[in-house]
Amino acid sequence: MTLTIAITSDFICPWCLVAETRLNQAIEQLNSPVEIQRIWYPFELNPEMPEAGMDRKTYRSQKFGSWEYSQALDAKTVQATQADGIAFRYDLMTITPNTLKAHRLTWFAGKQDKATAMAERILKAYFTEGQNIAEVETLANLAAEVGIDAEAAKAFLLSDAGIQEVQELKRLAIAQGVRGVPYIRIGQEVLSGAQSLDVFLSALQNAVNELTTA
């Protein structure tokens, strides 16, 4: 018996990492033999971002009015997620990346049943290590860490492969009403934003109950 979870996210969204962390914790606590399958859908919060990304201080200062306010927002994220065990390292982050390549790599990884491992590794690389996830070399190295051939990943990213498919998945998400991320469908329930561990656990249990009574 398989429960499919559909996750729409973007790699520059800290709450997407928080939601995935809490979802993993909820899955661990779920008392059920059901198999969990995750499907990842792309969403770009900054679709107009230059391919190489932008200096983070410049971009965030422009977006939020000042660098000080941007830093205050980062601090709120850290404070709100202290119980989640995520070591946010905003001090290491110098670039706000374009995330299209990261989404394409996750799509590519999905062809090898490694989409979840890939997505989680990219999120952690950006938010806890300050890596530039707009760079092909960086992404190829991350791919190798989850068991994907680095040269194959690099060749894929340097080509146009997957661009059309990822853009189509983005359009599909928007057509289905997705306006922000994380957006997670578990059974019949849709969870928007980084909900609490209890909310994830309840949604999982409800979905399992639906499966077993179907």
- Indicate the domain borders of the chain: 2-213
Quote the pTM value. Answer: 0.96
| Torsion angles phi and psi, residue 11, rounded to 5 | -80, -5
**pLDDT score for 31:** 84
**pLDDT score for 100:** 98
- The three state secondary structure string of the chain is CEEEEEEEECCCCHHHHHHHHHHHHHHHHCCCCCEEEEEEEECCCCCCCCCCCEEHHHHHHHHHCCHHHHHHHHHHHHHHCHHHCCCCCHHHCCEECCCHHHHHHHHHHHCCCCHHHHHHHHHHHHHHHCCCCCCHHHHHHHHHHCCCCHHHHHHHHHCCCCHHHHHHHHHHHHHCCCCCCCEEEECCEEEECCCCHHHHHHHHHHHHHHHHHC
**pLDDT score for 214:** 74
**pLDDT score for 177:** 87
Q: What fold, for 2-213?
A: Glutaredoxin (3.40.30)
pLDDT digits (tens), the chain, 214 positions:
999 999 999 999 999 999 999 999 999 999 888 999 999 999 999 999 999 999 999 999 999 999 999 999 999 999 999 999 999 999 999 999 999 999 999 999 999 999 999 999 999 999 999 999 999 999 999 999 999 999 999 999 999 999 999 999 999 989 988 999 999 999 999 999 999 999 999 999 999 999 988 7
